[in-house]
A and B are shown apart, each in its own frame.
Chain A
């Protein structure tokens, strides 16, 4: 339905469950994809699976120099960065009273500061092209909060506010900036939950099941598409009704 032929998309965290699926979906819609992540092997495997139009761009998002260089490397590999998907994220959970400064900072660095730097770098080329799509992957906890995740929730809520500010700044140049806020999604991260935790979570999800990475990817493809040109500063909540906004 949505055609991204001729567009180049940089996806961070493409070695993870949701990121890999986002890259697959953008690729299936015709885009050339830049697969970024810290673990090279799964990125290489994904690129091999996708065949053509896939580039592996390893990057450690907690390293400012690597972050600064990533958009440039992506543009060199693909010709441009028309679509940026800030998907990578980490958790360092713990109750706030026991949370170390290091755990706070690590999460803010990777989940909020790195996306800001990547947006700043990518907007440059998008301004010249008078077209661009930025999709930042937030989270249901970025709006609702979650005990034990003060750092993660702050970073994800921060992404929403940052996206709205950027959206306003660059709207006149054909660039949109939006968020997708996933709820509980079947990934390696949620596989670690035991049956009881799973049951408790599902009791709060009207749909009665966890979401799939494909369902997140579909939202990203929409926001990246030419059809979504009039949607900016928005957050698309994909959470099975768990948190209705």
Chain B
């Protein structure tokens, strides 16, 4: 797994308090990992902080799964 994926997973595990093996490529933050709308905002802000990037609102809306997040950040970072 890439370095970015590791760092994203760490944030997700810490923030949502889920087991690391639940955080799969297709795992949806809301449907599979129990996030609510505030959690998703916090995750996006945590990603921005960790990777020093800006994630605009319209892009944030497309980040539904762990895979989406890794893909977006890999392209942006």
Residue positions of A touching B, CB distance < 8 A: 124, 127, 169-170, 172-173
Contacts and interface: CB of A to CB of B under 8 A. Distances in A.
Interface in B11-42: 36, 38, 42
A169 B42 CA distance: 13
A124 B42 CA distance: 8
Nearest to B15: A128
B45 A172 contact: no
B55 to A, nearest CB: 15
Contacts of B36: 172
B38 A169 contact: yes
Interface of B: 36, 38, 42, 45
B38 A173 contact: yes
Contacts of A127: 38, 42
A124 B45 contact: yes
Contacts of A172: 36, 38
B38 A170 contact: yes
Contacts of A124: 45
A169 B38 CA distance: 8
Residue among B36, B38, B42, B45 facing the most chain A CB atoms (10 A cut-off): B38
B9 to A, nearest CB: 19
A173 B42 CA distance: 12
B11 to A, nearest CB: 12
Given A127-B38, A172-B36, A173-B38, 5 more contacts: A124-B45, A127-B42, A169-B38, A170-B38, A172-B38
Contacts of A173: 38
Contacts of B38: 127, 169-170, 172-173
Nearest to A173: B38
A53 to B, nearest CB: 29
A48 B75 CA distance: 52
A75 B77 CA distance: 28
B16 to A, nearest CB: 13
A170 B41 CA distance: 12
A93 B40 CA distance: 43
8 contacts: A124-B45, A127-B38, A127-B42, A169-B38, A170-B38, A172-B36, A172-B38, A173-B38
